[in-house]
Structure formats: structure tokens, C-alpha cells
């Protein structure tokens, strides 16, 4: 057998799966073909969703045996004429209980159109659905986009600019209201400009949207009678399906403003029962939920999920006593890291570390002196001690030094770091190069200027301190200024009237894994925090987006060259790729970490 593959063909009813051999034979084998093994008695194929294993007679091109099993098969092997298979751990007997999540997972709005923080989107993904979603599984399987509230993946026509979906029938919100196709247009109109969806999404009509005023009648056409939703784009957008994973339908009658503490009805297995800011948010079962797709939206295991929003974030003993079941901890405090190391030694199976799809960096405002001079921006990149900053967060295990905007998990990522002593082909940062940095500052004539690095109390302060030390070593009179809170910080650094601030800390979290990740932040409209606008770079980004929409593989090389040129122009000083630790109590089982949705809280078992 020279070629074998599994093909899942979407249908308006039950999808049929086929096993296609190298010769023109199509053999129905069940739903979700997962693994193939070849033995002397035939070809064996596992059906993940039909929960069976079938045997094909390749001479007759037919299924000659079906073996039902009690759970989803997860692999096949043949040894000594016997077929061996693994299965996914069964959830039988694990439904129920109350899962308690410690402080730190939720920030900002809980309104699905206004959520802009990756942790909040992840935490509330158990409640809100999109037309499509990432497979609700851990590991690499969780990167696949599959139909969720839509019957199937879209029919894409008109040169990759027209996406047509059909809504599953009978879906209801947690208040019993029927979900309508028009709810998705309302969702997009509400979400534009809130931080969830930006103007980079090329829906027709979106270019005229402002926060609180948006008419997408040209870009989102819906028919409630037939359940069809048609999106029309101004240009192809390879990221559009990903955008659809985070936009949940909004029922009619929902205010156009952020609903605050009043929950928006949801479609997932859970709904928000109550929310008291800085105290607690509680999810309970949605009485109108039923499983339409076990891949995109399986049922949840806990009966209740409580997020504790107040109190200390460093209470490791609470996890050991099972008073808290899931907790993440800040890594910028040495005393906390010591507690975590001790916990890890005592309970290694309850301690997990995951690399974030994120970058923490210092942005340099290219419209303010001294950073309007590229020599100064490069000097800061050379001077900053990324190893020392990484050490403030626990070292490379938790904070891996980087010189690039994109984190390593993105497609086509290749390390590149010209800002290091002893640069090498591997592109890794090794050490600061102060001699070269000081020569650049001397040539710029800016030594002795005042520089203020902005931040706000919390995680980024150690990185801000390391950045100020580098500026002082270059001869600048540098200091840190702290905003009162995150909201006032964001308002300050994005103020277009004052053109922001000289420099400041930021962390981009939940970065898409696509090759074009984060480059939209460098477009001339709207500006990024560094107010960087280079028309040549802007044109190259536009061209790469066009190529990516139709030929993603060819676009990878374009993005790599653009990224290197942006590193050389140095509007930012990337510092490290963060990781985070998660502790779970002894009551918790079925730990699954999804690369896109993070820890799948709804899939945890609570003993």
C-alpha cells in the first residue's frame, strides 16, 4: 500500500467518513477515522466518533468486520497477529461536583463581545460558542478548527471572500431563546472596536465602524428562516475562521454597550449564574444545552465552576488542602517560586508548566525622542540584559529570552537575534553587547536625555526595572512611572492625541499560531503602541496577507523576511516568551491543555 489517508466529508446531517486507498475505491468506515494498521488479515481502521474498529478486505474493497468498543479509540497497532488499541479515558462516573478555580484567571469584561484578555476568553470558553471552534481536546488535536454552532465548515467562494454557513437548528441560549442567524451580525457589530475584533478583519462595511456605531449589513447577510449566514470580505483573509471561533452570537434585546455584571445568555454547556467583581464568578449547567458536536463542544463534567476573583494569588497550601482545585501563580516573586518548587517536589503529578503563546516586551515610541532615532532603538536592544530579566521570572523554564515579536509556536518561526554578543546562526540571544550599544548612543547625540518607562503594578514591573537599568547604562536619566491600574495604563499609552508615552511595558498573550501573527499591530492604521508607521513595511504586510490568503506556504518566506526587517528597525524590545505554571488539587483528573483554549476546565473531573 503506497498511500493511505482518512477523509472526513462534511454533510448537512451525519458526516460520513471514508478510507481511501491508492486505487479508486471509497469505503465507508464510520465517523472520524483516526488510525490505520495493516496486518495479514486486512486493513484495520479506528473510528473515533463512531467508537468502533473496522477491518477492510483490500481485495474486495469492503468492510468485513466491525468491532464496537466502549469509548473513543486513540491509536492502533498490530503485533503477533493481534490488534491492539488505546482508548480515551472514560468519563463515566465523573460527571458532577464543584470545581474551584483560584484568583488570576479572569480580568476585564465578562461580556462576550467585550472580552479582550486571553485568560478571560479561555475561562469563559465553557459558556460561549462560535460558528466554528477549536477541537475541545488537549495537545496538537486542539489546534484543528471544526464546526460548532454551524452544521459544517463554510462554503468559500468569490475568490476566498465569501463564506457561507448554515446554523444548526434548535440551538437555544441559556434563557431558552432560540439562536437566530441574525444574532451573528449583531455580535460582529457589537464586537468591532472593543478589543475582541479589530478593524483588521476585512468585513465589507467594517472600515466605517466606530466603537458603538457599526452597520455590517453589507458584510454579514443573514436569513433567520433558512439559518444561513453569509460573510463578505473586502479581501481574502486566512485568519477569518480563527476570528469566528471567538465571536459568540448575541440575542436580540442585548444592549449595545458592555452589560457589566449582567451575564449575556450563552449556548455552551455552562452559563454564568452570578458575577460579583473582585469576589467570584460562578458557572452552572446550561439547562438548554445538548451535544451537537462531541468534537467542538462535548458536555462538561463539573456541575459548577467557581472562579474566585479576590484574595491572595499565592496560597499554595489551599491547593494542597483541596480548597482550590486549579490555580496559576505569578512568577515574578522569588518567595512564590520557592513555594512552587516545594509543591512540585511533593506533588509532581499536580504541577504543570506550559509555554504561553505570548511575548513580553518594551515598546519604544518612534515619534518621541530619543526613540525617533533607529540607532537609539537598536542600542536599547543591544544593552538590555534579557537573562537577568528572565531570572526575575524564574529563568528560561518560565521566561525564555527572545529578540522577536512572534513567539516560537507560530508557523514558520525561526530564531533571529542580531542584538547579542557573539551572534550565531541559531539566532539565540546570548548576552548584552554594551560596547556596541554605547557607540550607537554616542553617534545619536542623545546621551543624558530623560526617559520614562511606563508600566502598572503587577507582572511587568520586574521587566520594567531591567529595561530602566539598560537605559541607565547607556547614559540616560531613566525612571519608571506606574499607572494606577490597567485600564488607566492602556488609556495613557494608546492616547493618539498625546501620541502615547516615550516607552512602556506590554505583553501580547493568546497570539495566533499563524505565520502573520502580530504583524497587523505594525500597520499604519491604527498605530501600535510604538506609533510605528513605515509605508514600505505596510505595503509588504499587505502583500503578504494577499499571498497568505491563497498560498500560505509561499507566504511563510515573506513573513520571515518582514519579521527580520522589523527586528532591525527595532520599534520594540522583545524580552522573553513567558510560561505559566498551573497547580491542581488531588481531587482533579482528566487534565487536558489545549494549545488555543488553554486548560479545558469543563473537561476536568472533580472527585
Q: What is the CATH number of the domain that holds 402?
A: 3.10.105.10
Rounded CA separation 408/595 (Å): 13
The pLDDT of 399-423, averaged and rounded, is: 94
HEC string for 74-139: EEEEEECCEEEEEECCCCCCCCCCEEEECCCCCCCCCCCCCCCCHHHHHHHHHCCCCCEEECCCCH
Cell numbers representing residue 112 in the block: 462576550
Give the residue among 242, 240, 263 at the shortest CA–CA distance from 113.
Answer: 263
Residue-range definition of the domain harbouring residue 477: 359-579
Find the range with the poorest average confidence among 183-197, 199-213, 337-351: 199-213
User: Of 65-69, 195-199, 207-211, 219-223, where does the model show the most confidence?
Assistant: 219-223
Same domain, 77 and 106: no
Across the chain, what does the average pLDDT equal? 88
Number of DSSP helices (H) and strands (E) in the chain, helices first? 12, 31
Q: Left if phi > 0, otherwise alpha if psi is -120 to 50, otherwise beta: which for 234? A: alpha
Same domain, 173 and 253: yes
Same domain, 31 and 141: no
Cβ atoms 27, 19 nearer than 8 A: yes
The pLDDT of 590-606, averaged and rounded, is: 93
Query: What three-state secondary structure class fits 191?
Result: helix
Same domain, 78 and 104: no
Same domain, 140 and 214: yes
Q: What pTM does this model have?
A: 0.78
214 found inside a domain: yes
CA angle 306/303/263 to nearest 5° reads 55
> Tens of pLDDT along 215-248?
999 999 999 999 999 999 998 888 899 999 999 9
Taking the alpha carbons at both ends of the chain, their separation in whole angstroms is 47
Confidence of residue 10 (pLDDT cuts 50, 70, 90): very low
394 found inside a domain: yes
Domain termination residue (choose one: 19, 53, 87): 87
The pLDDT of 343-355, averaged and rounded, is: 93
197 found inside a domain: yes
Rounded CA separation 265/124 (Å): 12
Same domain, 473 and 365: yes
Confidence of residue 370 (pLDDT cuts 50, 70, 90): very high
Domain termination residue (choose one: 87, 116, 141): 87
For residue 589, the 8-state DSSP code is: E
Rounded CA separation 295/290 (Å): 13
321 found inside a domain: no
Q: Looking at the 3D structure of the chain, how many domains does it have?
A: 3
Q: What is the pLDDT of residue 5?
A: 30
337 found inside a domain: no
Same domain, 273 and 384: no
Find the range with the poorest average confidence among 197-206, 268-277, 295-304, 398-407: 197-206
Same domain, 52 and 193: no
- Which one has a higher pLDDT value, 321 or 75? 321
Same domain, 379 and 489: yes
Same domain, 110 and 83: no
Query: What three-state secondary structure class fits 414?
Result: coil
Q: What is the pLDDT of residue 25?
A: 65
Amino acid at each position: 500500500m503506497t498511500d493511505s489517508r482518512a477523509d472526513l466529508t462534511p454533510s448537512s446531517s451525519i458526516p460520513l467518513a471514508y478510507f481511501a486507498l491508492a486505487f479508486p475505491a471509497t469505503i465507508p468506515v464510520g465517523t472520524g477515522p483516526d488510525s490505520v494498521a495493516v496486518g495479514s488479515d486486512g486493513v484495520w481502521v479506528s473510528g473515533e466518533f463512531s467508537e468502533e474498529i473496522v477491518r477492510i478486505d483490500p481485495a474486495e474493497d469492503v468492510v468485513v468486520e466491525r468491532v464496537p468498543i466502549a469509548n473513543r479509540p486513540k491509536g492502533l497497532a498490530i503485533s503477533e497477529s493481534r490488534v491492539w488499541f488505546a482508548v480515551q479515558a472514560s468519563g463515566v462516573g465523573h460527571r458532577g461536583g464543584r470545581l474551584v478555580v483560584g484568583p488570576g484567571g479572569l480580568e476585564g469584561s465578562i461580556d462576550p463581545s467585550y472580552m479582550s484578555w486571553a485568560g478571560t476568553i479561555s475561562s469563559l470558553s465553557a459558556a460561549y460558542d462560535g460558528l466554528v471552534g477549536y477541537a475541545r481536546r488537549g495537545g496538537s488535536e486542539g489546534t484543528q478548527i471544526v464546526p460548532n454552532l454551524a452544521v459544517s465548515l463554510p462554503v468559500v467562494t468569490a475568490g476566498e471572500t465569501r463564506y457561507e454557513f448554515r446554523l444548526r437548528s434548535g440551538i437555544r441560549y441559556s434563557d431558552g431563546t432560540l439562536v437566530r442567524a441574525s444574532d451573528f451580525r449583531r455580535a460582529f457589530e457589537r464586537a468591532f472596536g472593543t478589543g475582541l475584533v479589530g478593524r483588521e478583519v476585512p468585513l465589507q462595511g467594517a472600515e466605517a465602524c466606530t466603537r458603538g456605531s457599526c452597520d455590517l449589513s453589507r458584510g454579514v447577510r443573514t436569513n433567520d428562516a433558512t439559518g444561513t449566514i453569509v460573510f463578505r470580505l473586502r479581501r481574502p483573509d486566512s485568519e477569518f475562521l480563527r476570528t469566528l471561533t471567538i465571536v459568540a452570537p448575541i440575542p436580540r434585546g442585548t444592549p449595545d454597550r458592555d452589560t457589566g455584571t449582567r451575564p449575556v445568555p450563552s449556548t455552551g454547556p455552562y452559563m454564568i449564574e452570578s458575577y460579583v467583581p473582585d469576589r467570584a464568578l460562578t458557572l452552572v449547567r446550561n439547562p438548554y444545552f445538548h451535544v451537537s458536536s462531541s468534537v467542538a463542544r462535548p458536555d462538561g463534567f463539573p456541575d459548577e465552576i467557581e472562579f474566585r476573583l479576590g484574595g491572595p494569588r499565592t496560597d499554595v497550601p489551599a491547593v494542597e488542602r483541596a480548597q482550590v482545585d486549579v490555580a496559576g501563580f505569578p512568577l515574578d516573586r522569588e518567595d512564590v517560586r520557592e513555594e512552587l518548587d516545594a509543591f512540585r517536589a511533593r506533588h509532581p503529578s499536580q504541577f504543570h508548566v506550559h509555554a504561553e503563546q505570548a511575548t513580553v516586551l518594551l515598546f519604544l515610541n518612534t515619534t518621541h525622542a530619543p526613540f525617533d532615532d533607529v540607532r537609539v532603538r537598536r542600542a536599547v536592544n543591544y544593552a538590555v540584559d534579557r537573562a537577568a530579566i528572565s531570572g526575575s521570572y524564574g529563568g528560561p523554564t518560565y521566561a525564555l529570552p527572545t529578540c522577536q515579536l512572534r513567539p516560537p509556536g507560530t508557523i514558520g518561526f525561526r530564531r533571529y537575534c542580531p542584538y547579542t554578543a557573539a551572534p550565531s546562526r541559531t539566532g539565540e540571544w546570548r548576552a548584552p553587547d554594551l560596547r556596541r550599544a554605547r557607540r550607537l548612543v554616542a553617534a545619536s547625540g542623545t546621551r543624558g536625555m530623560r526617559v520614562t518607562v511606563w508600566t502598572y503594578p503587577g507582572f511587568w514591573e520586574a521587566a520594567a526595572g531591567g529595561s530602566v537599568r539598560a537605559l541607565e547604562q547607556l547614559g540616560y536619566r531613566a525612571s519608571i512611572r506606574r499607572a494606577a491600574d490597567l485600564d488607566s495604563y492602556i488609556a495613557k499609552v494608546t492616547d493618539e492625541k498625546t501620541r502615547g508615552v516615550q516607552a512602556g511595558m506590554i505583553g501580547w498573550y493568546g497570539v495566533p499560531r499563524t505565520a502573520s501573527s502580530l504583524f497587523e499591530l505594525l500597520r499604519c492604521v491604527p498605530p501600535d503602541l510604538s506609533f510605528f508607521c513605515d509605508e514600505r513595511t505596510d505595503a509588504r504586510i499587505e502583500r503578504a496577507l494577499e499571498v497568505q490568503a491563497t498560498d500560505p506556504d509561499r507566504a511563510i518566506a515573506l513573513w520571515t523576511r518582514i519579521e527580520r526587517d522589523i527586528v532591525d528597525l527595532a520599534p520594540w524590545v522583545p524580552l522573553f516568551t513567558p510560561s505559566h505554571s498551573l497547580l491542581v488539587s488531588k481531587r482533579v483528573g482528566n487534565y487536558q491543555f489545549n494549545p488555543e483554549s488553554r486548560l479545558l476546565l469543563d473537561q476536568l473531573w472533580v472527585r
